[in-house]
Chains A and B, each alone.
Chain A
């Protein structure tokens, strides 16, 4: 059995959870994105970011979680150098359902993964270790991250394999990105702890897993470790283990974290937040269309194949491009361009940021293909150029001489030439019309792929007389 605790930073917010510092702390000098509130100076008080509450509520609703009408914040008390106040402001449900989200569920294929709760809390600072050996090691603290709004999603132990964990995390990050609340591709924006137990053994918590990729590995390692212990009849003890990133194994934590008593109590500086039905209705109306609904629409309205619709809907970057460029008549063509040609060109965050492609370009591309002004082949070259330069398609066609040869007399001349050069193939085509493609290919060769394929075929048939 595997359960997850996923931490997702609300990176798209302007400010931290309790102060005006930036929620996206990346790119700052060390200890530059800080103020008296987020470093917990004497006399400072938390100032709740209402927008963060809304975003967290939207996440809860998108994961089909119950959302209470009143939410509260609690203090989790423990000493740690990355915690400026030596307590973390967080939420919990032990004194009634006061967390931003209650029980919910997400479908992963045909399997239902249950959500235990969703809570809104502050991220601690970041520890930087320096020094070569444990003897001269020093710990430095960067508080730029301290106070970043964090949503913790806790699942039931519903996973049975590392693959299910991986699939769930992919779906979850797609959902979060689609909601516009977070950018899961940012480093450290999504982190997870896993609870792993096998039949007959105690629960083991794995912490410090830096990426989803490693999470799958860590879970896999831990299951193997526990099964090997079990087969040798060694007791599996309840403990916290850390993922050792370098050695790719889990290591028992010597710290007594599991024995800590957090002395939870209500954070008096933040009054209860009322999220009444009217607010919820408004939030729902402002929520972007869900991935599932998008996919259904793409299939039913535009007859896009289910597999293509799946790819298109689950990536916000693609679906946004699609939504902004398609018309009733070119939707299928645009879906095709995005999922076959574009996908390989913008598969990383850096490439997407560098790309100069606009929805308008896509519309032009699809329309040109549909009106036979541009061959599919040439459209790939044009797309490359658009991404690089952002120039108008018409200019690119001219500059790179990509336009289709669709002038009948010009094409007829080329075809006459091919027929005279390929007498044997022409004979073959007469007896077996299927082989005409070889001749089409020859025409394409001569026109550098720019011949209008349909016109070429028709003219060939006409001249050969089949």
Chain B
């Protein structure tokens, strides 16, 4: 049984009866069992997965209508609610929280007969980009176990690249899908803001984040997008995409497309290997008929500062509900007055979340808001204007996904500012609500490099076509498990 197949190949194989869902899911669980002591992608595993797969096989055999996923094993970032399952956000604060309802994306995937093999690791409440801030220990990069897998959706990227699932769902607030996808050599996609319902995604910075798939191929991402996108009455920010089929015409090519290369994202601080991969990607795209040209975006240099100011403000508010009153962990209430109780109960947050709670209390406060939060909103709006102008000239914008190669565990954890700068290429898409994707493009000294493409609002289909074209230009080695 070959686990190393794409989602679309899996569906095809099950459809024609070459493999059974039960066998494949059982093998996948075995893979998790074998690899995860080392990689630590999973926080919990669905013990009923094989039974669920067997039921789907029965449906197939009896000729009953089967959902489009045909029992495909998917892993889910642990900030997405699955009914009756633990949803911890990799935090001690939600260590025992069992969601009483399904996120919209989960409901949609269930309807299509997907199987959730488990909940995967992340930085606590999605704050971080290495998965080292998980309260339950870091995940490891399958390409080099001494290196971080990226984050915050680190468990998603690891599980996809180590064949512990066929596809995964993560969430992307400032690059949290694209960054680990790049570090683990997976495809990671953040759609246009509002394309996928966030209902059931535990908010970190709700005005800019989106759920996004992590897959082995661009086509798989398009397939996943078909499954989970669309308007949702439970999320007022969703957009009606009229049941767009993102797979159809994915091989349309990029001939004649104008691609802007963002100067500020290939400048200072970039790893030479990443720069050379980026140049290689540009020449490959040019050879396919794309027209590439450098563009300077002045506001990009303020984007990370604006990003951390806005996200800390929203996080400070979104995480205020964790007061351990309605749910949480075991902590006796008796003898406390309200304010002293919550300040004590909230000490269960880890260091990065605590840091951002403190920043989030400060930057929007009266007397400071003008200097920080309101200024950050101005940067966001100016950056959006600048990007909108750029998309008048270009169909796509290109940069490396991350300016550096995967680094060692522990290397940057005590240096939050240098860690923040790793986000420089990814936050712009979130702040401007644009779709962006990371495509695996190169392996340098055994470490993956991803290329990021960005498109204009609701040009997600065009973006996937370009990503597919880029993907087809390279053949990458297999992960050395």
Considering the chains assembled together, what is the distance between the CA atoms of A47 and B327 in angstroms? 22
Minimum CB–CB distance from B164 to chain A (whole Å) comes to 24
> What string of 1s and 0s marks CB contacts (under 8 Å) between A32-53 and chain B?
0000100111111111100000
Minimum CB–CB distance from B412 to chain A (whole Å) comes to 28
Within 8 A of A (CB), among B314-358: 314, 316-317, 320-321, 323, 325-327, 338-339, 342
Query: Does B237 sit within 8 A of A, measured CB to CB?
Result: yes
Query: Does A106 sit within 8 A of B, measured CB to CB?
Result: no
Please indicate the chain A residues that have their CB under 8 angstroms from the CB of B203 in the complex.
43, 45, 269
Q: Determine whether the beta carbon of B320 is less than 8 Å from that of A86.
A: yes
Minimum CB–CB distance from B409 to chain A (whole Å) comes to 28
Query: Does A132 sit within 8 A of B, measured CB to CB?
Result: no
Please indicate the chain B residues that have their CB under 8 angstroms from the CB of A47 in the complex.
233-236
A86-B373 contact given A263-B316, A269-B236, CB 8 Å threshold: no
Please indicate the chain B residues that have their CB under 8 angstroms from the CB of A264 in the complex.
364
Interface footprint category on B = 35 or more
Q: Determine whether the beta carbon of A271 is less than 8 Å from that of B236.
A: yes
Q: Determine whether the beta carbon of A141 is less than 8 Å from that of B325.
A: yes
Query: Does A265 sit within 8 A of B, measured CB to CB?
Result: yes
Within 8 A of A (CB), among B151-205: 198-203
Considering the chains assembled together, what is the distance between the CA atoms of A422 and B252 in angstroms? 115
> What string of 1s and 0s marks CB contacts (under 8 Å) between B2-30 and chain A?
00000000000000000000000000000
Contact of B101 among A36, A79, A265 (CB under 8 A): A36
Q: Determine whether the beta carbon of B321 is less than 8 Å from that of A86.
A: yes
Q: Determine whether the beta carbon of B317 is less than 8 Å from that of A43.
A: no
Please indicate the chain B residues that have their CB under 8 angstroms from the CB of A265 in the complex.
313-314, 317, 364, 373
Main secondary structure on chain B at its contact with chain A?
loop
Please indicate the chain B residues that have their CB under 8 angstroms from the CB of A79 in the complex.
320, 323, 338-339, 342
Minimum CB–CB distance from B153 to chain A (whole Å) comes to 16
Q: Determine whether the beta carbon of A86 is less than 8 Å from that of B237.
A: no
Contact of A270 among B201, B236, B361, B373 (CB under 8 A): B236
Query: Does A261 sit within 8 A of B, measured CB to CB?
Result: yes
Number of A-B contacts (CB under 8 A): 100
Please indicate the chain B residues that have their CB under 8 angstroms from the CB of A261 in the complex.
365-366
Minimum CB–CB distance from A267 to chain B (whole Å) comes to 9
Please indicate the chain A residues that have their CB under 8 angstroms from the CB of B364 in the complex.
263-265
Interface footprint category on A = 20 to 34
Query: Does B404 sit within 8 A of A, measured CB to CB?
Result: no
Considering the chains assembled together, what is the distance between the CA atoms of A265 and B342 in angstroms? 23
Determine which residue in B314, B326, B338 has the highest number of CB atoms from chain A within 10 A of its CB, and name it.
B326
Q: Determine whether the beta carbon of B338 is less than 8 Å from that of A81.
A: yes
Contact of B317 among A41, A45, A87 (CB under 8 A): A87
Minimum CB–CB distance from A38 to chain B (whole Å) comes to 11
Q: Determine whether the beta carbon of A43 is less than 8 Å from that of B87.
A: yes
Considering the chains assembled together, what is the distance between the CA atoms of A80 and B327 in angstroms? 16
Q: Determine whether the beta carbon of B202 is less than 8 Å from that of A43.
A: yes
Query: Does A268 sit within 8 A of B, measured CB to CB?
Result: yes
Query: Does A84 sit within 8 A of B, measured CB to CB?
Result: yes
Minimum CB–CB distance from A139 to chain B (whole Å) comes to 7
A41-B207 contact given A77-B316, A139-B338, CB 8 Å threshold: no
> What string of 1s and 0s marks CB contacts (under 8 Å) between B364-391 and chain A?
1110010001000000000000000000
Query: Does B449 sit within 8 A of A, measured CB to CB?
Result: no
Considering the chains assembled together, what is the distance between the CA atoms of A184 and B326 in angstroms? 31
Q: Determine whether the beta carbon of B320 is less than 8 Å from that of A42.
A: no
Which 10 pairs, one residue from A and one from B, show the smallest C-beta to C-beta distance? A268-B207, A86-B320, A42-B202, A43-B200, A43-B81, A263-B364, A85-B321, A43-B202, A40-B321, A268-B206
**Which A residues fall within an 8 A CB radius of B?**
36, 39-48, 75, 77, 79-81, 84-87, 139, 141, 261, 263-266, 268-271
**Which B residues fall within an 8 A CB radius of A?**
79-81, 87, 89, 94, 97, 99-101, 103, 198-203, 206-208, 233-237, 313-314, 316-317, 320-321, 323, 325-327, 338-339, 342, 361, 364-366, 369, 373
Known: A41-B101, A45-B203, A85-B320. 9 other contacts (CB 8 A): A42-B81, A43-B80, A43-B199, A43-B202, A47-B236, A87-B320, A139-B338, A265-B314, A265-B373
**What are 22 residue pairs bridging A and B, where the CB atoms are less than 8 Å apart in the complex?**
A41-B100, A41-B101, A42-B87, A42-B202, A43-B80, A43-B201, A44-B199, A45-B203, A46-B236, A47-B234, A77-B316, A79-B320, A81-B338, A85-B320, A141-B325, A263-B316, A268-B206, A268-B207, A268-B237, A269-B203, A270-B236, A271-B236
